[in-house]
Amino acid sequence: MGKKGNVAIITGASSGMGREFAVQIAQNYPSIHEFWIVARRRERLEELQEKLLGRRVKILALDLSRQEGIDTLEKALAEEQPRVRILVNAAGFGIIGKIGKMKEEDCTGMVDTNCRALTAVTHITLPYMTEQGQIIQMASSAAFMPQPGFAVYAASKSYVLSFSRALGRELAGRGITVTAVCPGPVKTEFFDIAETYEAVKLYKKLTMARADRVVYQALVDAKHGRSVSVYGSLMKGFRILAKFLPVDFLMLFVK
Ligand SMILES: NC(=O)c1ccc[n+]([C@@H]2O[C@H](COP(=O)([O-])OP(=O)(O)OC[C@H]3O[C@@H](n4cnc5c(N)ncnc54)[C@H](OP(=O)(O)O)[C@@H]3O)[C@@H](O)[C@H]2O)c1
């Protein structure tokens, strides 16, 4: 079925920004005929299907942190040979707390999902991306500097930012753009998991952005082929500070 029209593949579509990407792409991209929506919670994906304005929808209830999940997606791609116009990698999570105080699987789970799964999904989807295709990768403003107390998450998002910028250069010849989305805190279910061990800092609570606005900005930036999308002047300012001030100095404040 994928051969007939342009497809958008969205991971992490069962909630938060991934879900919002699906809804806004359905509303604003008439050239997308089909959605492949991926996450573990099937019932949430079924609910989302109702919001996608009658487009064809392929629900893939997969755990992307496991190789079986990646293999299932790869098999579906090989079978259906879709013309992928937009790939959004939004599946991811973060857990606040010191490394020594967390379970090992929580630490490595962030790397598995935020880095490994994102890399694998990108890699297996690339052969099916059309010219003028867009890859949108959810990084974070946490990518801009190391964060004591959120160390693995920040490092995983630095990976996403670095990987995405380099990939954008590699793909320039194919007319495919790659946009790393780097918002500050966004009001989503993210924090239900993030606060497993420790509460989110007050300054983050007070600066939370709306998911629909972050996603709208990301889609505008992707359309313009921008390599990085940062929502809001606060986070744009933070990005500049993180570029020019010494990391040790900045980390005093994060602590
Ligand atoms: N919220 C923030 O403050 C913030 C800020 C900057 C960047 N981000 C990043 O933005 C992305 C989206 O986060 P969000 O805020 O929208 O959080 P969210 O509402 O918790 O959404 C996370 C999504 O990832 C999916 N997911 C998690 N682990 C998965 C796995 N192993 N396999 C498949 N899907 C998986 C979840 O679905 P299931 O649970 O159904 O699998 C869910 O759909 C993440 O990469 C996050 O790191 C978030």
Nearest residue to 18 (alpha-carbon basis) of 56, 64, 54? 64
93 Cα: distance to centroid of ligand 1 (angstroms)? 5
Task: Judge if the beta carbon of residue 128 lies within 6 A of ligand 1.
Answer: no
The predicted model gives 76-85 an average pLDDT of: 98
Active site residues: 153
155 Cα: distance to centroid of ligand 1 (angstroms)? 16
Nearest residue to 135 (alpha-carbon basis) of 229, 211, 214, 62? 229
Residues whose CB is less than 8 angstroms from the CB of residue 157 and which lie 6 or more positions away in sequence, other chains included:
114, 139, 140, 142, 143, 182
Task: Judge if the beta carbon of residue 90 lies within 6 A of ligand 1.
Answer: yes
Q: Read off the amino acid at residue 165.
A: R
Residue 73 has pLDDT above 90, yes or no: yes
pLDDT band at 4 (very low <50, low <70, confident <90, very high): low
Least reliable range by pLDDT among 19-23, 96-100, 197-201, 206-210: 197-201
Asked if residues 73 and 124 have their Cβ atoms less than 8 Å apart, the reply is: yes
Measure Cα distances from 25 to 135, 137, 210 in Å.
Answer: 13, 15, 17
Instruction: Ligand 1, residue 19: give the atom nearest the CA.
Output: 43
Residue 3 has pLDDT above 90, yes or no: no
Largest Cα span, the chain: 54
Looking at residue 2, what is its pLDDT? 43
**pLDDT (tens digit, 9 = 90+) per residue, 182-194?**
999 999 999 999 9
Instruction: Ligand 1, residue 139: give the atom nearest the CA.
Output: 7
% of the chain exceeding 70 in pLDDT? 98
The predicted model gives 90-97 an average pLDDT of: 98
Looking at residue 255, what is its pLDDT? 62
Nearest residue to 142 (alpha-carbon basis) of 130, 132, 131, 156? 156
Residues whose CB is less than 8 angstroms from the CB of residue 78 and which lie 6 or more positions away in sequence, other chains included:
none
- Among 9, 11, 40, residue to substitute to test ligand 1 (most atoms within 8 Å of Cβ): 40
The predicted model gives 214-228 an average pLDDT of: 98
Please name each of the domains of the chain with its CATH number. 2-254 (3.40.50.720)
Task: Judge if the beta carbon of residue 75 lies within 6 A of ligand 1.
Answer: no
Residues whose CB is less than 8 angstroms from the CB of residue 174 and which lie 6 or more positions away in sequence, other chains included:
129, 131, 133
Task: Judge if the beta carbon of residue 47 lies within 6 A of ligand 1.
Answer: no
69 Cα: distance to centroid of ligand 1 (angstroms)? 16
Q: State the first-to-last Cα distance of the chain, in angstroms, to the nearest integer.
A: 51
pLDDT band at 225 (very low <50, low <70, confident <90, very high): very high
116 Cα: distance to centroid of ligand 1 (angstroms)? 14
Residue 241 has pLDDT above 50, yes or no: yes
Asked if residues 7 and 31 have their Cβ atoms less than 8 Å apart, the reply is: no
Residue 1 has pLDDT above 80, yes or no: no
Residues whose CB is less than 8 angstroms from the CB of residue 210 and which lie 6 or more positions away in sequence, other chains included:
186, 187
